[in-house]
Amino acid sequence: MTTLDSALAAAQAAFDNAQFQAALVGARASSAIADPAQRIEALRLRAQSAFRLGELDEAAESAQTLLAQLGDQAPTYPQRVAVLSVSVVAAGELALFDQALGHLQQILSTATRSGSFEDYVRARGTAATCFALLGDPWAGQRLLSELLGLFQGLPSEAMLEAATRNNHVAVCLRIARMARDAGEGADFSEAIDHAEASLQRAAEIARQTGDTRLAAFADVHGSEAALLRGEAASAAVRLQGAAEHADAAGLSAHARFLRVMQAEALNAAAAPERALTLLREVDTGLREGHDIGLRIRCVQQLQRACIATGAHAEALQHAARARKIEQALLYKQLRAQSRYLRTRLELEHLYRYRASASRSISSRPGQLTEPAPLDASPPAKR
């Protein structure tokens, strides 16, 4: 076994033990491996490890490179759904919606062909997350609610259910925050109740399995719910411990998110000096390859803390930064929404008039990849 072979095996072992930083380092070192099949596996590990660490640009690029290197073999690659899922969400969180939507169509088609219940759930969960990132969390919530009904009486699918629950919580909390900011009290209450119901079940699975990443998600989402309910002081205390646990588990993306939320709680609890210290530390480590939503939130809280501490010139700088990132995101969301709507209309035409539409679309440059309809029935649960 060569040194690169050993590095790849060690990277896989680290990934299996949730040591994602070690897995990422090993996968990077294995990228130059000679054997094509092993090089593909190194890219897969690199994409999945980077994704779990919140290094989204590296995750999206590695997934894209892997699929390109597979070429004609891509449709039969066993981990295709997993890699496409990483690509869709990582690209979506960076507002790279062309890549996200292109791979979303592929993952839906692949999952339907595979006949696997896990692939079916993962593909539609990925679609729901993509819809939310595009600015339509309600579509994502509807899709995830349908998926959750499939888990009744399936105790052996607890980890898959937990992943779906976490997606559902995240989307419902996004809706709750939007409803709160818009002064829609009834919609806020409904969304936060849905979120907390799924959060309770996800936290239960995390306790049963001892999975550190599930526990970290429970901390993130539970703290977010507490913040939205106005329980800032208790949330700040909880978030301090949660961030320390995330650091100890090597979950850097979770730790960043938790510290921004802790700062938000401190701002709300009239402790802006402590918030400012935390936010400056996080802001220094954030870059364009990280979650665009977190970057906006961090800068907004920096602005708020600076206003509260009298640093008005710095507050204006942060306001301009936040506005620039938000405007760029909104432009990309609206542009992608328009393209996605056009694509869906064309595909519906294809399904209704398959013979004539297929000839028409195939004659155009850049023909569409045909995905499975989102309302396709799930595979039989075995």
Q: How many domains does the chain have?
A: 1
Task: State the pLDDT confidence band at 380, using cuts at 50, 70 and 90.
Answer: low
140-163: b (≥16 Cβ within 10 Å) or e: bbebbbebbebbeeeeebbebbbb
Distance CA 276, CA 321 (A): 16
User: Kindly report the CA angle at 178 between 174 and 184, in degrees rounded to 5?
Assistant: 130
- The pLDDT of residue 354 is 43
Contact indicator for 117, 378 with CB cutoff of 8 Å: yes
- The pLDDT of residue 377 is 58
Global pTM reads: 0.87
Let me know how many helices (H) and strands (E) the chain has, helices first.
17, 0
Asked if residue 302 is part of any domain, the answer here is yes
- The pLDDT of residue 317 is 97
Number of Cβ within 10 Å of residue 233's Cβ equals 15
Please enumerate, as own/partner, the contacts of 69-72 that have beta carbons within 8 Å and a separation of 24 or more.
Answer: 69/36, 69/39, 69/40, 69/43, 70/40
- For residues 161 and 348, the model is more confident at 161
- The pLDDT of residue 381 is 55
- The pLDDT of residue 220 is 87
Task: State the pLDDT confidence band at 114, using cuts at 50, 70 and 90.
Answer: confident
- The pLDDT of residue 373 is 52
Q: Give the start-end residues of each E strand in the chain.
A: none
Burial class (CB within 10 angstroms; exposed 0-12, middle 13-18, buried 19+) of 171: buried
Phi then psi dihedrals of residue 71, to 5 deg: 60, -125
User: In this predicted model, what pLDDT tens digit does every residue of 274-326 receive, in sequence order?
Assistant: 999 999 999 999 999 999 999 999 999 999 999 999 999 999 999 999 999 99
- The pLDDT of residue 116 is 86
User: In this predicted model, what pLDDT tens digit does every residue of 176-213 receive, in sequence order?
Assistant: 999 999 999 999 999 999 999 999 999 999 999 998 88
Q: Which of 105-119, 123-137, 197-211, 291-305 has the lowest mean pLDDT?
A: 105-119
Task: State the pLDDT confidence band at 364, using cuts at 50, 70 and 90.
Answer: very low
Asked if residue 33 is part of any domain, the answer here is no
Asked if residue 253 is part of any domain, the answer here is yes
297 token code pair: 């939130």
Task: List Cα–Cα distances, 213 to 62, 125, 208, in angstroms.
Answer: 22, 18, 13
30 token code pair: 């294995």
- The pLDDT of residue 82 is 93
Which residue range(s) make up the domain with 273? 230-310
Which residues are CB-neighbours of 96 under 8 A, at least 6 positions away? 60
User: Kindly report the CA angle at 205 between 150 and 11, in degrees rounded to 5?
Assistant: 100
User: In this predicted model, what pLDDT tens digit does every residue of 2-49 receive, in sequence order?
Assistant: 677 788 999 999 999 989 999 999 999 998 888 889 999 999 999 999
Asked if residue 107 is part of any domain, the answer here is no
- The pLDDT of residue 346 is 55
Contact indicator for 88, 126 with CB cutoff of 8 Å: yes
pLDDT at 341 over 70: no
Please tell me whether residue 79 adopts helix, strand or coil conformation.
coil
Mean pLDDT for all residues in the chain: 88
Asked if residue 237 is part of any domain, the answer here is yes
Asked if residue 65 is part of any domain, the answer here is no
User: In this predicted model, what pLDDT tens digit does every residue of 74-91 receive, in sequence order?
Assistant: 888 999 999 999 999 999
Asked if residue 299 is part of any domain, the answer here is yes
pLDDT at 366 over 70: no
Asked if residue 260 is part of any domain, the answer here is yes
Distance CA 29, CA 4 (A): 7
- The pLDDT of residue 345 is 56
Task: List Cα–Cα distances, 240 to 196, 220, 244, 293, 296, in angstroms.
Answer: 21, 11, 6, 21, 21
